[in-house]
Amino acid sequence: MPDALDSETLKEALAYYDRWLAFNQRYQRIPGVQAAVYAEDAVAFSAAYGHADLEQGVELTDQHLFRIASHSKTFTATALLQLAEQGKLRLDDLVATHVTEIVGTPLGKRTIRDLVSHAGGVTRDSEEADFWQLAAAYPDREQLLRVVKEPGSAVLSGNDRFKYSNIGFGLLGLVIEAVTGTPYNEFVRTAIVDKLGLTGLGPELDPARLGEYAIGYSSLAYADQRVPIDHVDTGALASATGFFGNARDLVSYWSAHLPGDERLLTDASKRQMQHPWWKTTSTDWPKYGLGLMVSKVGDRELIGHSGGFPGHISLSLVDTERGLAVSVLTNAIDGPARQLTETAFKLIELASSEPREDAAGLERFTGRYANLWGVMDVVVLGGRLYAIDPSTPDPVVDPTTLEMEGDTLRITGGSGYGAIGETYRFTFTPDGSVESVRGSSGLSRPLDVFSLPDRVRVSTVRA
């Protein structure tokens, strides 16, 4: 059974995660952010921030669709394990057993297991990879077969090390087609998406639903403004990068990978899929399973996958012990999906790190307070008060703990560069709302009434 999360503690963590995401979408100038959390056997949180279309001013909703790119690999791996359970293939079959066009080639001698774990030594995208910049169409079946038949497609020996390959997963799509006699897109839609009853997921760009897609945008790394990027079909690489989805349906899909849920796979197959077979770097973590990333946030081992498509960056992470899944989708090619996803787990971990305390009387201090130097959030997590800077890359590192003393909060923990032992003195209006907070950096006010000092405004105008 999953490790239980206290419902009230989870509610507090998700309430603050909502505010933190809204702040970071604006602060980091991300066009749009869509996020969802699966917990306590249901979608516990689903929200969207910013815009699906900047030019037309279309606000993003939690129903808009994103290109979730390499999440596709988890669907492909799931399909292969389904076929293995049905006795239609073995993971140790040679790829050429099913894709007979590559008999006698180096890649034909690789196994399905080699490719699904990225241990086949296969070229990542080939030397003809301009499709990633939309300078060419994604390869069709004929073009893909031409690439994999080339001697240079086998860059390393098989089972030598982890080497990520979209071409290898494109080849696995051809394996699924050969075994089932059905096009890849049709098979995974029927065997996975439809089986779960999810309408916000699909294996390839759907022209009939173009109006539902969030527009993807270019990076700010090489330009002062973002430029919209066209949606394109991924051809024979759909099994590597074709899927679209929204965060709500994506975490619902991940729930089928939790222990005890056998809608898609037996637990035995899920254990194979989720086992950390290969180190992906010179360090111990992260690792890779069968079509799955296996990583750590803090001390907790998580499964999931990232996705990078022209204009869209996404990440899903799943804590199978807690029955918790988080997906964050962004519509910018430099969207910080990893930071935005991992923070959900960090907030929940902080909130549940100690036995829950009585939060009576603490809510009156909570809010977002600003001064010239930035903002500070006072938040209740696990029945305890914390001061958090939402603009930092990791908002919970060395957390600043607070204890109530009447209308004052004493700082009891945090970085030595902070103000441990000092206080935040709150002034309240007659209706009980916060008027101001005075601490070691001077006076702060609630963000919605904060304004810069006149001297700062004058200097800014003159500059």
Q: Is residue 358 part of a domain?
A: no
Is 463 a member of any domain?
A: no
> Do 109 and 151 sit in the same domain of this protein?
yes
Tell whether 143 and 184 lie within a shared domain: yes
Residue 403 pLDDT? 97
**pLDDT value at position 453?**
84
462 domain residue, yes or no? no
> Do 327 and 369 belong to one domain?
no
Angle subtended by helix axes 267-274 and 72-85, to nearest 10: 140
The pTM of the whole model exceeds 0.85: yes
318 and 389 assigned to the same domain: no
Same domain, 2 and 88: yes
Confidence at residue 234, expressed as pLDDT on a 0 to 100 scale? 98
Residue 283: which CATH number?
3.40.710.10
List the end-to-end C-alpha distance of the chain, in Å, as a whole number.
Answer: 61
Q: How many domains does the chain have?
A: 2
Q: Is residue 461 part of a domain?
A: no
Residues 161 and 270 in one domain: yes
Domain boundary among 325, 353, 381: 353
Q: State whether 138 and 196 are in the same domain.
A: yes
Mean pLDDT by 10 residues, the chain (463 residues): 78 98 98 98 98 98 98 98 98 98 96 98 94 96 96 91 97 98 98 98 98 98 96 98 98 98 98 96 94 96 98 98 98 98 98 93 97 96 97 94 97 93 97 96 94 71 44
* Chosen domain end from 330, 353, 376: 353
Q: Residue 95 domain-assigned? A: yes
Does some domain include residue 147?
yes
369 and 335 fall within a common domain: no
Q: Domain span at residue 189? A: 1-353
237 inside domain = yes
pLDDT value at position 455?
Answer: 76
- Whether residue 45 is found in the same domain as residue 163: yes
Q: What is the pLDDT of residue 1?
A: 39
Q: Are residues 97 and 153 in the same domain?
A: yes
In this structure, are 45 and 168 located in the same domain?
yes
- Same domain? 257 vs 230: yes
The reported pLDDT for the residue numbered 3 is 63
User: 421: domain CATH number?
Assistant: 2.40.128
* Domain end call among 308, 335, 353: 353
Instruction: Examine residue 305 and state whether it is found in any structural domain, yes or no.
Output: yes
pLDDT value at residue 86? 98
